[in-house]
Structure 1
Amino acid sequence: MKIYAVLLLIVFSSLTTLAQKSINFELKKQLDSILQTDQGIREFVDSETSEKRKDTLAQFFNYPKEELKKQAWNIMPKIDSINLKKVEAIISKYGYPGKTLVGEPANTVVFYVIQHNPSKISQYYPLIEKAGKEGELPFKYTAMMLDRKLGQEGKEQVYGTQVYGVMINNPQTGKKEFFQYVIPIKNAKNVNKRRKKAGFDSTVEVNALRLGIVYKAYTKKEIDKIVKPKIN
């Protein structure tokens, strides 16, 4: 039994060493740094982020907290643009840097940066799709990008991850108001089955509430009628 234990220990040690060798730690470090800026600025503007945490984030971004509160939404697209240049260089060299190459959560970084640069989604979606199908990226991220891509194209989404807001004229009050909704979903009655299969741990209803919206399964025709009313 002792011999088997020693053999197992040797095998486990060898596998661990091989796994460590397969990870590109320099690239992982670079991606981790990008992720900090991408998610950090968004965490700062999140209404649920504590003031103490905002102090830490402001220090990270080298801004006085009150100044960052005023400038965060202007800083965000600049960060996204800088990060895009970095990940495009990474993609050109490595392809999609997935779980095998950089581990987790570094394998999500390229997804986030592309998702936050909407003009690049159509170009890079096939890369994200391939990474999701091959297990290099959790498939739910591929699903989110697919939904955003379809929304950009004026089509129904599949997993109900994307919401939208627009100013409309309320026909009852005659006043302008902000209207938020979950972008219409193809075969909406089965969306939660698809979400579960894709790896989401919440329903479309719960996800909408998390984003401050009470879910209603609008059709594209209904949304067009609300957002683009006919002028008599």
Structure 2
Amino acid sequence: MKYLLIPLFCLISFITNAQKHFDISLKKQMDSVMFLDQKYRDTLTWLMTPDKVAAITKKLGMSASNAINHYNKLQKNIDSANTNFVEGIFKQYGYPGKSLVGDSTSEAAWHIIQHSKRIDDYIPIIKKAAEEHELTFRLYAMMLDRYLMNKNQEQIYGSQMTMRTLKSTKINEWIVWPLKDPKRVNALRKKAGFKDTVEENAANLDVKYRVIKLDDIIM
């Protein structure tokens, strides 16, 4: 009987510890922050989508440029408040990952930092969370790509697209930011957890993929 109780005790201990780790109050707070993070982003996306801009500007009753400026300002104010909140969470808990707030909510803090100007400060925390399986590794890969792009360095996974002027055309256009290893990018994407290729990802966002080097871009 003594030996049968040991596994049962271990199981109860494991369940108790898991329950202590999960924080329903923090989960609700992070869900609210995530909602605010997305509040105006769909509208801004539509305002920059050629086949939707006419309908959305008519509905809003303002020009596209005025609407973009208006909603950008609103979203930036939200993003600033969200970043301050998440910074406080990091100080208190570290990264609020899967064991603390659940699988889906574990992405909330990532979204806030990805949309902030603080990636340089917090990408080590994001990396650690991904390595400890508290955050989906694919998301860290996306942040790493953005971190590299922000520093005018080649990205690894091909997740970042931006509007730039090419030296050859002198036209400001959407491109997939230059890749460190174009030949291996899809293998790297698969290993990181992406379900599509760099070509498919670009096509889904109406961007024509082609290999571009840093030297091809007017910085």
> TM-score category by the smaller chain?
0.7 to 0.9
Q: Aligned residue for 1:142?
A: 140
Which amino acid in the other structure matches residue 185 of structure 1?
L
Secondary structure in structure 1 of the residue aligned to 2:91: helix
Q: Aligned residue for 1:151?
A: 149
Q: TM-score w.r.t. structure 2 length?
A: 0.79
Secondary structure in structure 1 of the residue aligned to 2:154: coil
Q: CA deviation at 1:45?
A: 3.2
Secondary structure in structure 2 of the residue aligned to 1:40: coil
Rounded to whole Å, the distance in 1 between the matches of 2:14 and 2:123 is 33
Rounded to whole Å, the distance in 2 between the matches of 1:21 and 1:206 is 42
Cα deviation code 1:5-25 (max 9, x no counterpart): xxxxxx999976764443100
Q: Aligned residue for 1:6?
A: none
Q: 1:208 aligns with which of 191, 198, 202?
A: 202
Q: Aligned residue for 2:131?
A: 133
Q: How many residues align?
A: 198
From the superposition, tell whether residues 217 and 168 of structure 1 become closer, same or farther in structure 2 (CA, over 3 Å). closer
Q: Aligned residue for 1:5?
A: none
Rounded to whole Å, the distance in 1 between the matches of 2:156 and 2:72 is 29
Which amino acid in the other structure matches residue 184 of structure 2?
N
Q: Aligned residue for 1:4?
A: none
Alignment of 1:152-171 (within 5 A): 152-167=150-165
Secondary structure in structure 2 of the residue aligned to 1:91: helix
Rounded to whole Å, the distance in 2 between the matches of 1:128 and 1:115 is 10
Q: Aligned residue for 2:76?
A: 77
Q: Aligned residue for 1:199?
A: 193
Q: Which runs of 5+ in 1 are unaligned?
A: 1-10, 52-64
Q: Aligned residue for 1:185?
A: 179
Rounded to whole Å, the distance in 1 between the matches of 2:40 and 2:192 is 28
Alignment of 1:52-131 (within 5 A): 66=60, 70=67, 71-118=70-117, 120-131=118-129
Identity of aligned residues (%): 39
Secondary structure in structure 1 of the residue aligned to 2:184: helix
Which amino acid in the other structure matches residue 154 of structure 2?
E
Q: TM-score w.r.t. structure 1 length?
A: 0.75
User: Aligned-residue CA RMSD in angstroms?
Assistant: 3.0
Cα deviation code 1:160-183 (max 9, x no counterpart): 011110356875xxxx74311111
Which amino acid in the other structure matches residue 89 of structure 1?
G
Cα deviation code 1:22-64 (max 9, x no counterpart): 310010000000001112321333339xx9xxxxxxxxxxxxx
